[in-house]
Amino acid sequence: EAQVTQNPRYLITVTGKKLTVTCSQNMNHEYMSWYRQDPGLGLRQIYYSMNVEVTDKGDVPEGYKVSRKEKRNFPLILESPSPNQTSLYFCASTSPVNYEQYFGPGTRLTVT
């Protein structure tokens, strides 16, 4: 079954404590993305990756890092989280055939 998994699903942390949200896909897609969803703002792209070791900034990259050391995994790293990064985060993997994106179930992050 085509799948994108994210962990953890829920996370409450404190300001400044580094965290990583993992993302993995089993479809052998080259392209993956991270989004955040906030009320009234829809989904905004944080970072995307076109292939292993190739990443680029989306619309809201400040405060985030990513890495792509292998095709299936695309972790999102918050080196020093702040309360304005409290949000719902989605990882997505894109089919090269029709640009369809497969989204993970989401990670709800609260930074206090």
Partner 1 sequence: DQQVKQNSPSLSVQEGRISILNCDYTNSMFDYFLWYKKYPAEGPTFLISISSIKDKNEDGRFTVFLNKSAKHLSLHIVPSQPGDSAVYFCAASEGTYKYIFGTGTRLKVLA
Q: How far apart, in whole angstroms, are the C-alpha atoms of residue 48 and residue 39?
A: 22
Q: How far apart, in whole angstroms, are the C-alpha atoms of residue 23 and residue 77?
A: 11
Q: Which of 49, 17, 45 is nearest to 31 (CA)?
A: 49
Q: Which residue among 1, 28, 42, 112 contacts partner 1 (CB under 8 A)?
A: 42
> Does residue number 105 form part of the binding site for partner 1 (CB under 8 A)?
yes
Cβ(87)–Cβ(37) below 8 Å: yes
Query: Total residues at the site for partner 1 (CB under 8 A)?
Result: 27
Q: Which residue among 19, 67, 73, 103 contacts partner 1 (CB under 8 A)?
A: 103
C-beta atoms surrounding 85 within 10 Å? 20
Q: How far apart, in whole angstroms, are the C-alpha atoms of residue 34 and residue 38?
A: 14
Choices 12-20, 33-41, 66-74, 77-85; region in contact with partner 1 by CB under 8 A: 33-41
Q: Which residue among 40, 62, 69, 112 contacts partner 1 (CB under 8 A)?
A: 40
Residues that bind partner 1 (CB under 8 A): 4, 31, 33, 35, 40-45, 48, 50, 56, 58-59, 90, 92, 94, 98-106
